[in-house]
Every structure is written in C-alpha cells, then in structure tokens.
Amino acid sequence: PAVRADGNLAREAIPTVVFLGDSLTAGLGLGEEEAFPALVGRALAERGLPIRVVNAGVSGDTTAGGLARLDWLLSQRPAVLLVALGANDGLRGQPLESIESTLAEIVRRAREAGARVVLAGMKMPPNYGPEYTRDFEQLYARLARENELPFLPFLLEGVATVPELNQADGIHPTAAGQRRIAELVTRELEPLVRGLLAEPLRR
C-alpha cells in the first residue's frame, strides 16, 4: 500500500470494512463506540492494522433489508464485508430457503464488487423447534463452505444466554457482551486485514 513520507499509510490505502447487520451490530442500547465494529477497529489499529470502519447495522433489519442497502454500501468500495444478518428473519419464522438465497445474493454481489466476504452465523432459541433451529444454523455453515468464506459459526458465542453479558431484554449484548463479540470478530478479521495491507494498492 501507499506509504507517506512520515511512514504512515496513505488514507486511501486503509481498507474499508463494512459491518452489515442488525441491532446486534448497531449496538442497540449502547453508544456506537461501544458496538463491536468500533471495538474491532480499535483492536486492529492497536496491532498496526488500521481499517476504516463502516457500521452498517440497522436495528430490526432482515436479510432482504441488507440486500436492499447493499448497492449503496458497495459504492464505498469496501475491501471486506462482514455479513451478520438473518436473526430477525429467523425470529419471524421466515422460510429458510429465502434466508439462504438472500444471503447468497449478498455474497455474490459483494464479491463481484471486489470485496472479501466474512460470514457470521446466527442461532435460534430452542422454542422455535428442533428442526427449524438445526436447519437455520446449518444454512450458514453450508453457505460458508460452498463459497469458501471465512466463517464465525455464531456471532454471539459465549454471550447468548449469559445474563451479565446481556441487557434486560436477554437478547441484546451489554457493553461487556459487545467486547466479547469484538474479540471473536477481531480474531477472524486480523489475518484478512494483515493480508490486505501487505498487498500492493489495488484501489
């Protein structure tokens, strides 16, 4: 990447990472600086891996909503798109085929635009029935496998169902819960961003 005379990366050489998600990404009930995208940006910067963070989390959003917003987000030419959608579709009992096909379309369009895609999996509460919860979880693993995507099997790993890491609604993480998510996401993104910053400037 382009390096300025002072040894720092030129602004245009810093990769843009778009976090496409719902209230979990937006950090509902918290300040945006406490949501995991901002925390990931800070953690990577501390490791000498600066990124431009775009928190594209919208509370209540579905996979269809994410797809509808995608062209505008891709116009910002992200190097990486982290997709963390589908929880609201599942909570509404949407057909799994439509969730999977919409996520696949997001992946396809993002890749066509030159972005690397990272997929974050979701899980449903057990009261949705064993078959739906199992098949919902598996659609993410299948998408990641078929598209050879970097994959976080469950965005809320170690956070879901832990009372002290969730707000009073039992669904949305506290600041401490968001920090836990940020650790998982940083671990997944670090090698990807390291590789991007090692490449010659392509954009």
Burial category of 168 from C-beta neighbours within 10 Å (exposed 0-12, middle 13-18, buried 19 and up) = exposed
How many angstroms separate the CA atoms of 139 and 116, rounded? Answer: 20
Active site residues: 23, 169, 172
Q: Which two tokens stand for residue 183?
A: 């650790």
Residue 68 sits at the vertex; the CA angle it makes with 90 and 11, to the nearest 5 degrees, is: 110
- At 105, give phi and psi (nearest 5°): -70, -40
Q: Amino acid letter at 169?
A: D
Phi, psi (5° rounding) for residue 163? -55, -45
